[in-house]
Each structure stands twice: as C-alpha cells, then as structure tokens.
Amino acid sequence: MPLRLFALLSLLVLSACSARDICISQARSELRTLDGLIAETRATVARGYAIEERTVPEEVFTRCRDEEGDLRPCWITVPRTERQPVAVDIAEERRKLAQLETRRAEEAQRAAARIRACEAQYPAG
C-alpha cells in the first residue's frame, strides 16, 4: 500500500475515535496486555511446550533497480520468522497462569474505575 494512502487511512481511523473512545481504550490497555499473556500461557500449558519465535535473515533472489532505473536480478536479505518448540516446566507455567489471572482480576477493577472516569469526563453525546 502506498505510504500516502496508508497515512490517509490512518488519519481517517484516528479521527473517527472520540476523546472518550481514546480514554477508554487507554484505560483497558493493561487488560489487553494481560489477556494476551494469559492466552499465551494457557496455550503453552495445553500444548505442554512453548513456541519460541526468532527472526533470522534470509537471502531472496529478486529484481532490483540499478542507478539508471533499470531492473536487474539481485539478491536481497529479508527477515523471516522461525517458530520452534521449547521445553518448559508445566508446573511453573500453571503457577504463572494463576498469578496472571489474579493480576487480571485486580486490574479489571482498576480499569473499571478508569473507564467510569472517562465516561464522566467525556459524556456520550
């Protein structure tokens, strides 16, 4: 997607959000992070192992433009993500999951208070 089109679409999306929407989204930010960590940890426990991702360089044969603007064959390096299974201590993962769920319950109460503050500051209208 051309950069100008992407920038224009981004502006349209951002302008569609009200100050209230932005405030509420920020109030829920920590909850979204915790939800992601909980989902990842649950998946690890269910699988019995973790998945580790790492980015490695990969050489790709393609066509590039030279100084005169002509296309020519060339090699470029692009990043590629590899996923590998990794052994974990399932008992430790279960303890981590319990801690994350406790933390999420506490954060949900704080987020609810922040959301009420957003709604009071920016009444629907």
pTM: 0.69
Count of residues in the chain: 125
How many CB atoms within 10 Å of residue 68? 6
The model's confidence at residue 17, banded by pLDDT at 50, 70 and 90, is confident
Q: Which two tokens stand for residue 23?
A: 């405030």
DSSP codes joined into one string, 45-64: HHHTSEEEEEEEEEEEEEEE
Rg of the Cα trace of the chain?
A: 23
Tell me the per-residue pLDDT of 101-122, one tens digit each, with 9 for 90 and over.
Answer: 999 999 999 999 999 999 999 9
